[in-house]
Structure 1
């Protein structure tokens, strides 16, 4: 009995030491200096493409742009996207360019704490230093809003941020944005946007028990979006079978209208209204080209479909 108790105590001490080590173990790395010459216009465009306004603005309550988003209700609790205005207390007004780079590309706060993966930082990991400089320049122009973001409503053990270090070690992947030399410039631009800034896979890919995207189910759709919503498959074959072409998909990303005259509903409506509707036509075409694998499809399938004059909302 004494031996069993001793072994149990030793195991508990060992386990406690391991947890303590994990709690203090640093996460992330110090970024190289970010160039100060950022382009505000380009940064604002990249912010639109990245969905910043859609997630960090509470439209239902008439919240100010980027002052904190509407609650994201998930199986792990309720998460509140933070205030991204230039307020120095409640926003990011006192962040350096390097703080900003670490948060965007690594998902780590200026204090060294890992962010929850409800923040889509894994898709931004390949942003260049110039991308970060442009985004930073754009965010400095956002008027300050002195509103504190509510604390996440997350129960144990998901409220233990040190556990995110294990999550990152197990599931964090870099985005598939590297260009394919065998593809056209247009297709590769679409790949960069879809797998990077636009983070389409965040909603259109199923999740595992830990809330991580399942790589094998990439773009197959999801039945467990925040708020109980669902998303359809956006794999090329499925899109083509549903009648999507490069022209009408690019048009839908700009207007929210489908070839049948329906309108996107739910979170996709927000994505279009606050994000993709602001993108240039060539970028919308690039995204559609990539999603449809259009360069491998007969050109006859790329004809436009005229939208119906009236629209109904569909999820």
Structure 2
């Protein structure tokens, strides 16, 4: 019996050590980054496409105050309440002290400079598809914005979701930098895919999730329950029960917020339109072309 107990204990220790190892946060080594001179002006375009201010500006901010990235927005989910952090270029309260490798690591692998896992309320599952060059440009632009010395509040999560190490297992199942839609060699569709699947992270709201919060790629962009409260996130696949508009209608909506039936954007889409209206017409057309090429999903 004693030998049996010791064997069980040994197996448990080995299993725990193995689990600890496979859930370790991953990083991008500085030497893995391509040679690139960051361009803050190009980074501004990435910032707009990503809607960074929509989450990281103070609640109710307008105009130039949208560039004060103090954080504080609360995202209420079935797993608890997540609070958007300060990502201003302040060296202590924000991200001003980060290296390029630390920034790219956070954006694509969801790992903080101190080695902790970020929770996937931060949409690094989408940002993982962005290029290091775009991310270095984005960091260069953020570095031009006002520093904010106050830290945002922490998350409010109960057990077991407050165990960050477990996020490593979640990443093993869900963090996939591969594209969802094969667009062949079409440059317009490739640009639309980069914006929808990557920087614009449209799937974070418009794709249903499984019980553990991972994307259901078999229902890509098919909508589902609103994770922040009552109601539904729309199906935006090209289907009669989804987004049946023409590509021109979609592009016009992304510019103006007006639908073909003379309605206007509401709810969280108001902030999205604020960003997409600042994109180039070519980028809005590329998004529309991509959405028309997605496999239709009934329902949602």
TM-score if structure 2 supplies the norm length?
Answer: 0.87
Q: Contact 1:69–1:83 at 8 Å: present in 2 too?
A: yes
- CA–CA distance in 1 between the matches of 2:226 and 2:243? 22
Supply the distance in 2 between the matched residues of 1:38 and 1:251 (Cα, whole angstroms). 32
Aligned residues: 289
Instruction: For 1:136-215, list aligned pairs within 5 A.
Output: 136-176=139-179, 180-182=183-185, 184-215=186-217
Deviates more, 1:92-101 or 1:223-232: 223-232
1:133 pairs, out of 133, 136, 139, with 136
Show CA shifts across 1:202-230 (max 9, x none): 11111111111111111110113224452
Matched ranges for 1:232-247 at <5 A:
232-238=234-240, 243-247=244-248
1:15–1:238 CA distance, 2 compared to 1 (3 A): farther
2:121 pairs, out of 118, 123, 136, with: 118
Contact 1:177 1:192 in 2 (8 A): no
Instruction: Provide closer, same or farther for how the CA distance between residues 242 and 21 of structure 1 changes in structure 2, counting only shifts above 3 A.
Output: closer
Aligned ranges 1:218-233 → 2 under 5 Å: 218-233=220-235
1:105-161 alpha-carbon deviations (Å, 9 max, x no partner): 111111121111111111121322221221111011011011111110000100000
Query: How far apart, in 2, do the equivalents of 1:6 and 1:77 lie?
Result: 43
- State the shift of 1:236 in Å: 1.5
Q: 5+ unaligned residues in a row in structure 2: which ranges?
A: 296-300
Query: Which one is further off, 151-160 or 49-58?
Result: 49-58
In 2, Cα distance between the equivalents of 1:290 and 1:109?
Answer: 32
1:22 CA drift (Å):
3.6
Name the residue aligned to 1:283: 283
Question: Residues of 2 paired with 1:105 and 1:169: CA distance?
Answer: 14
In the alignment, the residues of structure 1 paired with residue 181 and residue 216 of structure 2 have an alpha-carbon distance, to the nearest angstrom, of 20
Give the Å deviation of 1:6: 8.1
> For the structure 1 residues 36 and 186, does the alpha-carbon distance in structure 2 shift closer, same or farther, using more than 3 Å as the test?
closer
Report the counterpart of residue 81 of structure 1 in structure 2. 84
Provide the secondary structure at the position in 2 that maps to 1:278: coil
Question: Which residue of 8, 15, 22 maps to 1:18?
Answer: 15
Q: Which residue pairs with 1:66 in the alignment?
A: 69
Aligned counterparts of 2:4 and 2:57: Cα–Cα separation in 1: 53
5+ residue gaps, structure 1, are 297-315
**Aligned 1:256-271 pairs, distance under 5 A:** 256-271=257-272
